[in-house]
Amino acid sequence: MARTIELAVSLKVPDNEARSALEALTVKMDLGAAVKDLARETLWAFDFGDGSGDPRAAVERLVRESNVFANPNKHTYGIVEGGSERGHPLDSDEVAILVRDRDSNWHASILPLLRRLGISGVENVQRWTRWRVRIDPPPSEGDAELVPLLRKIGVTTGRHDGLLANPHSQTARAVLPWGDEKPLEP
């Protein structure tokens, strides 16, 4: 059975990009009543094929023995078994906005690199920027205002609307604390 292992990497020190984005959302876009905090991570998903041994141990070894995905001097990381980018749990007042470049072929160089590092069985690697957005009041199922708010936070549609993803070159989707995923198209 194929398995996906997710690696979430974040900075140990304060993330100035996330701080700047939080200020833009809360002050310049006037979303301070709804957006309480913002954090940024890089989320990697490694898809392992059948019979590839222990995929989690392979990713743990990869991170421990190389600085390709996480530098221990400046990053912290978490590894979980996943499958749809929600293996890393969210707090009840958090929503994740996943952003990925549409046309990027960086992953073509990752698979040969993994083989050179002795990691076998990886069939695909995906990478997102994962923004963890704290919302007040906490999101709830059935809230008709939630997806429009996330779209306003996540997808740039004008000078004063959207921030985290450029819809011309990136895709964005929201992962909600109860596991639902919503595309954030303008």
The residue ranges of the chain whose pLDDT is under 70 are: 1, 83-87
Specify the pLDDT at position 2: 81
What pLDDT, in 10s, does the model give residues 24-77? 999 999 999 999 999 999 999 999 998 778 999 999 999 998 888 999 999 999
- What's the confidence (pLDDT) of residue 83? 60
Residue 103's pLDDT is 79
pLDDT at residue 113, rounded to an integer: 87
Longest dimension (CA), the chain: 51
pLDDT for the residue numbered 154: 94
pLDDT at 179 (0 to 100)? 85
Long-range contacts of 75-80 (CB under 8 A, 24+ apart): 75/9, 75/10, 75/11, 75/12, 76/9, 76/10, 76/11, 76/12, 77/7, 77/8, 77/9, 77/10, 78/7, 78/8, 79/5, 79/6, 79/7, 80/5, 80/6, 80/8
The pLDDT assigned to 156 comes to 94
User: What CA–CA distance (Å, rounded) separates 155 from 43?
Assistant: 19
Beta strands in 49-168 (DSSP E): 75-81, 94-101, 122-135
pTM of the model: 0.91
